[in-house]
Structure 1
Amino acid sequence: MSLNLSDRQDIRTHVRHLRRALSDEQQQLAAVQAAEHALSFAPLERAKNIALFLSVDGELNTRPLIAKLWQRKQRVYLPVLHPFSPGNLLFIRYDENTELKKNRLRIPEPPLDIRHLLPLSELDVLLVPLVAFDAQGQRLGMGGGFYDRTLQNWQHHGFLPVGLAHDCQQVEKIPTAAWDIPLPALITPSKIWQW
């Protein structure tokens, strides 16, 4: 294969193809295995407020994990596109009764209700989607920069960002850009990575 995997866009295309090629059974098993790792990961066990994402485009399915977090009475938040700060995310409470609607990127999100908004300083763990990752903790997102902006000052805000991905999303090396923020931890169906 003559893929130039030193190019970020080539990596995105290649890994998204691998991810989408997983069968329903593989996706289901991966979701359950990753949820088990996440639920036993100490920072997540202790967390009160956890932000994560709803899966699209072959991403690891987060619904089994969300259901377990609700059972454990932990509060779950989902990202919402900021209405007047382009490229930024807000995090809104998500429970069994929340009605989701698709945003302009075709991703389901809860209604923007200021009463359910969580400031980043009150977030404990942020589970981050990604297209690809490497063994150094570098992540490659979809290219919109939404999570890069959210992760910029994560230590200052006091939350722990944790990547969530399929094992097949690991690549040898991600060419980094100045704005890239490496992840301190990442969970796949087979293991928990920490850097």
Structure 2
Amino acid sequence: MSVDLKFLRKQLRHQRRAVSSFQHKQSQQQVLSQLLRIKAFQQAKKIGIYLNAFGEIHTQHIIEYCFKLGKEVYLPMICSMNQQLHWVQISQKQYRNNQFSYHPLGMKEPMAQRGLHVSVLDFLIMPLLACDIYGTRIGMGGGFYDKTLASAPNKPYRLGLAHDFQLIQQRLPREVWDQPLDALLTPSKYLHFKR
């Protein structure tokens, strides 16, 4: 039986928006404690990560912990020319002072400056709407992460962050342009995939 992606996206967007602030706090802490045990994260120096905006797993604790560990933190910025994500390093001061601009799609991004190619990152923490047990990631529909990662087949390590309800047991359709994950982290599970 095939998955109705349009319906699934709508359902999961609704579920994500319904997550309470208490649940978000709990999930963020559970995800962080598991992340710190992942060897690829421990060894990584340059971390790409998102700023939550649409009910995704919150990333504040992870970002602060990256600074505490002396890791470099990079945020995505959408390049209007090719619809790919470019990565901009931010400082702890910039992060704490909330020095970001709003993209028309509704999320915050670093103030306009030249970003770097995704291949400079060692470890990439990605948001998603759904992921199956084979590492197929379904995003919001813009294809930004897929377009970006298509030009970097080997690096960085790709970790999806999700609420438990976003892990789908049924196989999701994977198009040729879809970029699979190396691993998925939810508050209760860590799944590693063969890419």
Q: Same fold (TM over 0.5)?
A: yes
Q: Which residue of 2 aligns with 1:155?
A: 153
1:53 to 42, 47, 50: 50
Secondary structure of the 2:88 match is strand
**Aligned: 1:96 with 2:92:** yes
Equivalent runs, 1:52-131 vs 2, <5 Å: 52-85=49-82, 87-98=83-94, 99-114=99-114, 117-131=115-129
Secondary structure of the 1:10 match is helix
Structure 1 consecutive aligned stretches of length 4 or more whose deviation exceeds 4 Å: none
Structure 1 unaligned regions, length at least 5: none
Alpha-carbon distance in 2 for matches of 1:170, 1:121: 27
Structure 2 unaligned regions, length at least 5: none
Q: CA RMSD in A?
A: 1.6
CA displacement at 1:174 relative to structure 2:
1.4
Deviation string, structure 1 residues 149-185 (Cα, Å, up to 9, x no partner): 11214334x2111111111111223122221122111
Secondary structure of the 1:40 match is coil
Identity %: 35
TM-score w.r.t. the length of structure 1 is 0.90
CA displacement at 1:97 relative to structure 2:
2.4
Q: Which residue of 2 aligns with 1:135?
A: 133
The aligned length equals: 188
Deviation string, structure 1 residues 101-127 (Cα, Å, up to 9, x no partner): 11111110111223xx33323210111
